[in-house]
Amino acid sequence: MCVCFSCRLLAFWSFLQTSMTEPGFVPKDFCDQVAQAREAAAEAGDRVWRPGEASTCGKCRQSRPERAHHCSICGRCVLRMDHHCPWVGNCIGFANHKYFIQMTMYGMLACATFVLTAMPEFWLVFVGKKHRKGRSAFRAQLPIKDQMLFSLAGMLALSFSVALGVLFCSHIFLLVKNLTSIEMAYRGGNPYDLGKRRNASQLLGEMDASWLLPIAPARPLSDGLSFPSARQAQGRSHVDVAPIGRRDVDDGV
Ligand SMILES: [Zn+2]
Ligand SMILES: [Zn+2]
């Protein structure tokens, strides 16, 4: 009972955090910094990795850091954007992707525990021991309206647990690969791949109890504006400050 309640509470909490937390927009300071340092090296191409490079959005015409993309629904560029989620009415970006993953995890667990704890009743309703009238004893006691509601709730919970489970697994895959859904379509190897645990820490912060709670990372490793590349992590780069380039392309998301 305690586990069921905790899963539901954490699922609802994660949902609120995903829906109400700004996904991370480009700060004005960043645009000013780019404007001062820019060498106007326009580059063509799209859907390719550009670690350490700023770009100019083709739609809102503002500078944006690496891994930021334009959301046509929000009308703004979002830091480390993953996708726009209509279910929560918000973009999923650097600042709330963690909550989104937790929402799928706790939502899946909440639905799964509902199905599992109600399994004996489901068994009685759908299979159960037949009594002399050919209906299960439990089923015979329930009005037809309650039977339908009970069945509908069970099927919805089962469907949601499967759908959320698939979503959770796909985002765990992205998390440990240090990828976003948009970057899955990029060509070439992922320059941000630092190894599973360090990849997860880029979004969740240093590993601690906050990984499990829908709160901001206690020890964040990134501000969403720049991300260490595998090349830098291996000490093969002598670049201290990320170079700022420019490309006049629109990522169209
Ligand atoms: Zn934009
Ligand atoms: Zn959006």
Does pLDDT of 138 surpass 80?
A: no
> Annotated catalytic residue: which of 85, 91, 111, 169?
85
- Which ligand has an atom closest to residue 251 CA? 1
- Mark whether 85 is an active-site residue: yes
67 CA to centre of ligand 2 in angstroms: 15
Cα 151 off chain centre by: 31
pLDDT digits (tens, 9 = 90+) for 8-63: 999 999 999 999 999 999 998 888 888 777 654 344 456 788 888 888 888 888 88
- Please name every residue paired with 25 in a beta bridge, in sequence order, or none if there are none: 78
Pick 121 or 86 by higher pLDDT.
86
Return the pLDDT at 35: 76
Cβ proximity of 77 and 64 under 8 Å: yes
Cα angle at 208 between 237 and 175, to 5 degrees?
55
pLDDT digits (tens, 9 = 90+) for 198-246: 999 999 999 999 999 999 999 999 999 999 988 877 765 444 434 444 4
Query: What is the pTM assigned to this prediction?
Result: 0.83
- Which ligand has an atom closest to residue 250 CA? 1
95 CA to centre of ligand 1 in angstroms: 17
Return the pLDDT at 227: 93
Confidence of residue 131 (pLDDT cuts 50, 70, 90): low
Report how far apart, in Å, the C-alpha atoms of 218 and of each of 4, 104, 201, 207, 221 are.
Answer: 26, 21, 11, 9, 10
102 CA to centre of ligand 1 in angstroms: 27
Cβ proximity of 58 and 250 under 8 Å: yes
Does pLDDT of 72 surpass 60?
A: yes
Cβ proximity of 53 and 243 under 8 Å: yes
pLDDT digits (tens, 9 = 90+) for 140-176: 667 778 878 888 888 999 999 999 999 999 999 999 9
Confidence of residue 109 (pLDDT cuts 50, 70, 90): very high
Q: How far apart are CA 84 and CA 168, in angstroms?
A: 16
197 CA to centre of ligand 2 in angstroms: 28
Pick 130 or 164 by higher pLDDT.
164
Pick 43 or 91 by higher pLDDT.
91
* Pair of tokens at residue 143: 């009005």
- Which ligand has an atom closest to residue 91 CA? 2
220 CA to centre of ligand 2 in angstroms: 23
* Cα-Cα end-to-end distance for the chain: 42
- Which ligand has an atom closest to residue 92 CA? 2
Return the pLDDT at 55: 87
3-class SS of residue 121: helix
Return the pLDDT at 146: 80
72 CA to centre of ligand 1 in angstroms: 8
Q: How far apart are CA 249 and CA 40, in angstroms?
A: 13
194 CA to centre of ligand 1 in angstroms: 28
